[in-house]
Chains A and B, each alone.
Chain A
Amino acid sequence: MPDAPALAVHGLTAGYFGPPIIEDVEFHADPGKITALVGPNGAGKSTLLRAVAGVIRPDRGQVLLGGVDVAGAPPEALVRMGIVYIPQVANVFPGLTVLENLEMGGYVRARGVRRRIAEVCGLFPALHAALHRPAGTLSGGERSMLAIARGLMVDPWVLLLDEPITGLSPLLQAAVWERIEAVRETGVAVVVVGQNTRGTLAHADWAYVMALGRNRVEGTGADLLQNETVIDLYVGHLS
């Protein structure tokens, strides 16, 4: 009997000012699984994450967290409910130390911050050595890990990762993927938007391919890697 999805999105339509960037998008993310969102440029993958995270307000649609519709709630509230968003850039506080970044990640926790920091550092040992360095001095890979670690501080149900490995060297990418898989093992529903399509699909348990703001194809990562339609979406005719 499969777990109920931690996150289920139905008919989500959202944009900035003007016409919507994403329309009628559907997807769900199961706990303990990596769900990927891929697609060519302009597909609206980042916009989708932002709409789910409350950074932008959806025009219509549902965002069900454990069955409760939270669409339109502000990000501060969503964090309390267990949805955490890790942006692609500007995802750490450069003027604060690593430790302070983690503390801010745990801002909404009433207690147990110290304990949680220790647990999170267990998942990301590289951060342990850098606890008192300003986050602005971290390397790219360390920064990505800190960004994710910060998000884990509240013990989220759903972790939304916007291109966590883009801009990193292949070695670092492998290291970060390894950590993401470790996070998955703790039961979090991990949603990843990836620029490197093949790489992202290779790590995904389930994936959605989007184009021009809408769903196109879905399937397991392995299946989609072989799928001709997917290739067409990138280099062929878009209809």
Chain B
Amino acid sequence: MREYLIALATEGCIFSIMALGLNVIWGWAGDLDFAFYGYIAIGAYMAMVTSIGRLPAPAQYVLGWHLPFPLAALIATASAGLLALGVGAIALRRLRAVYFAIVTLSAVLMLQTVISDYTPLFNGFDGLYGMPQPFNDTLHLSPQGYSLFFLAFCALCLAIVYVLLERLSESPFGRALRAVREQERAAAAFGRSVYALKLTAYVIGAALGGLGGALLAASQGAFNPTAWPPAETLDLYVAIFIGGMGNIRGVILGVFLVLVVFQESTRFIPALWGNPNVSVAAREILLGLMILVAMRYRIQGLWPERARPGRGRTAARPAADPRPALLDVRGLSKRFGGVEVVRDCSFDVREGTVVGLIGPNGAGKSTAVDLITGFATPDAGVVRFAGREIQGWAPDRIARFGLMRTFQLPHEWPGLTVMENMMLAAPARGRDAIWRPFFAAGALRRAERADRERAGDLLEKFQLLDLRDEPAGHLSGGEKRLLEFARIAMAQPRLMILDEPMGGVNPVLGARLADAIAHLVALGVTVVIVEHDLAFLERVCDIVLVMALGTVIAAGPLAALRADRVVIDAYLGEAPVHA
């Protein structure tokens, strides 16, 4: 019995490491990866071929070294990561979930075919055996003693992985990753490269899978293509699902619940009808039903991703000095399906000014904003910002360069707290790098504390401070809009474009938003506001641009424009000639 429990616990530790790796890819980054089994398998095989030495014929395989386990495990982990780099680079190019899933599924099947059929690689279908027990050639323990030692070793590995992932999760990288999962466009709008973040997460997750595979091989002593069919990856998904996606403790709980408790308990189902497959089949059926029920009723899992606490107060404010045209747009044009939505649009914005952009529906204002900020590519025209030509740049690059925007509908990161939303908006300056939480922890802590104080101050100004630990998705519509402003204020761009910030809000909320925008303006940032609420624009704007039919038709102080025939015609449209 004791041996059984020790074996169970060891299995649990190993599977937990694997599940944690998958959690980085699925729980944190949000990618449905079917190739994960492949990384486990590669890890197992590489660990074996670097530690079993030479086996007698007819076994054939590559390498055949005889390295101590830690080194073998390291090679296994690195191999898995390298493979993931290749697969991920292709699979993440088109960021649609379905294609990613299908490409990764293809990749793992190709890998399985190659491993099974190309014998010189890993001995094909027969697999490899004879893996020496890690450390036992120096320890010489009895079998019972060793099993206890190995459990302790696996538990230690799990503990290390746990600590590292916890650190990473709390770091700017972890936060940025979750932001990408929650609301990709906003992440790009705040300077994050979605592709780079997802690929990094993919490699890290795969590497952990490889480590798990190495430990699995060490615990079984052998590994072959039938040892762990790809369907077992589904068990890992269920563990994460049920335990709580994203939450590290939840994942470990899920593993022990699903893989260990559930699996083992169904082993006791008697063989009915003399059919030896019954327990296996029954287990799989129950597993499948469990997934369906979990999905339908309890999708966050037992231990949902918890919010991280926010702290901090006090102030810090930047200044701006007026200079010539910060943003210069010339001849911007864009066609959508035969209709010229933006047509030879030109204007400039001087630093330190507040410019309004108005015009009737279909004037092309939102498209112009998309074109300037990189969310669409212009057919023609030049966009010059701070002296550089930025047309055609990716939106995250433009954002990092200092030109940012908000969206018509609030694009908050719903699963992250208000404070985390603010922390993410802080100028990144390479802080997302994964090595920082480990090798520059002190500096990172100080920088984060400073950010938290500034965020607290801003949240107070926007009357959101008491909501700082609430998941942003729980905020009311008006509060979400205020958060949009607080966030972009936090990001300190040189120029910000507010896209219909007052769109469809009632007058009471409108007054509050107007104050919030006035506050932004007071910070000295250059602001372009796309709006319809002319009363409000009259209050804050220096000049107003009028767009109609894709181009700028008038510019000047609003009071003058109101009486301008051209502007009125643009809004009311033309009467038909024969009226």
8 A Cβ contacts from A181-239 to B? 194-200, 202-203, 225, 230-231, 234-238
> Which 8 A-B residue pairs are closest in the complex by CB-CB distance?
A196-B573, A198-B575, A234-B571, A202-B579, A197-B572, A198-B573, A41-B532, A197-B573
- Interface size, chain B (Cβ < 8 Å): 23
B362, A199: Cβ atoms closer than 8 Å: no
B509 (CB) vs chain A CBs: closest residue: A19
| Nearest-Cβ distance from residue B477 to partner chain A, whole angstroms | 5
B576, A199: Cβ atoms closer than 8 Å: yes
Residues of B that sit less than 8 Å from A by CB: 338-339, 360-362, 477, 503-504, 506, 532-535, 562, 567-568, 571-576, 579
B572, A198: Cβ atoms closer than 8 Å: yes
Residues of B within 8 Å of A196, CB to CB, are 573-574
Residues of B within 8 Å of A19, CB to CB, are 477, 506
Q: List 5 A-B contacts (CB under 8 A).
A: A40-B360, A41-B360, A42-B532, A173-B576, A231-B568
Q: A236-B534, A238-B533 are in contact. List 13 more A-B contacts (CB 8 A).
A: A18-B477, A40-B571, A41-B360, A41-B361, A166-B362, A195-B573, A196-B574, A199-B575, A200-B573, A202-B579, A235-B567, A235-B571, A238-B535
A67 within 8 Å of B (CB atoms): no
Partner of B573, one of A18, A140, A199, A231: A199
Residues of A that sit less than 8 Å from B by CB: 18-19, 21, 40-42, 140, 166-167, 170, 173-174, 177, 194-200, 202-203, 225, 230-231, 234-238
Q: Once bound together, how far apart are the Cα atoms of A52 and B255, in whole Å?
A: 51
B503, A235: Cβ atoms closer than 8 Å: no
Residues of A within 8 Å of B573, CB to CB, are 194-200
Q: Determine chain B's interface SS by DSSP, over half rule.
A: loop
* A21-B504, A235-B568 as given contacts; A198 in contact with B574, CB under 8 Å: yes
B536 (CB) vs chain A CBs: closest residue: A238
Q: Once bound together, how far apart are the Cα atoms of A132 and B389, in whole Å?
A: 48
Q: Once bound together, how far apart are the Cα atoms of A231 and B568, in whole Å?
A: 8
Partner of A167, one of B339, B360, B576: B339
A167, B572: Cβ atoms closer than 8 Å: no
Q: Once bound together, how far apart are the Cα atoms of A2 and B534, in whole Å?
A: 41
Q: Once bound together, how far apart are the Cα atoms of A225 and B361, in whole Å?
A: 19
Q: Once bound together, how far apart are the Cα atoms of A229 and B123, in whole Å?
A: 86
B564 (CB) vs chain A CBs: closest residue: A235
A174, B576: Cβ atoms closer than 8 Å: yes
* A167-B362, A195-B360 as given contacts; A42 in contact with B576, CB under 8 Å: no
B505 (CB) vs chain A CBs: closest residue: A19
Q: Once bound together, how far apart are the Cα atoms of A236 and B567, in whole Å?
A: 12
Q: Once bound together, how far apart are the Cα atoms of A19 and B481, in whole Å?
A: 14
* A40-B532, A41-B532 as given contacts; A177 in contact with B576, CB under 8 Å: yes
Q: Once bound together, how far apart are the Cα atoms of A200 and B573, in whole Å?
A: 9
B341 (CB) vs chain A CBs: closest residue: A167
| Nearest-Cβ distance from residue A178 to partner chain B, whole angstroms | 11
Q: Once bound together, how far apart are the Cα atoms of A4 and B181, in whole Å?
A: 55
Q: Once bound together, how far apart are the Cα atoms of A45 and B562, in whole Å?
A: 24
Q: Once bound together, how far apart are the Cα atoms of A230 and B572, in whole Å?
A: 9
B575, A237: Cβ atoms closer than 8 Å: no
B480 (CB) vs chain A CBs: closest residue: A18
| Nearest-Cβ distance from residue B230 to partner chain A, whole angstroms | 36
Q: Once bound together, how far apart are the Cα atoms of A8 and B483, in whole Å?
A: 41
B574, A199: Cβ atoms closer than 8 Å: yes
Interface-centre pick from B503, B506, B567, B572 (highest chain A CB count, 10 A): B572
Q: Once bound together, how far apart are the Cα atoms of A236 and B572, in whole Å?
A: 13
Partner of B572, one of A174, A231, A237: A231
| Nearest-Cβ distance from residue A162 to partner chain B, whole angstroms | 12
Residues of A within 8 Å of B361, CB to CB, are 41, 195
Residues of A within 8 Å of B503, CB to CB, are 42
Residues of B within 8 Å of A235, CB to CB, are 534, 562, 567-568, 571
* A41-B360, A140-B338, A166-B362 as given contacts; A202 in contact with B571, CB under 8 Å: no
Residues of B within 8 Å of A18, CB to CB, are 477
Residues of B within 8 Å of A167, CB to CB, are 339, 362
Residues of A within 8 Å of B532, CB to CB, are 40-42
Residues of A within 8 Å of B575, CB to CB, are 198-199, 202, 225
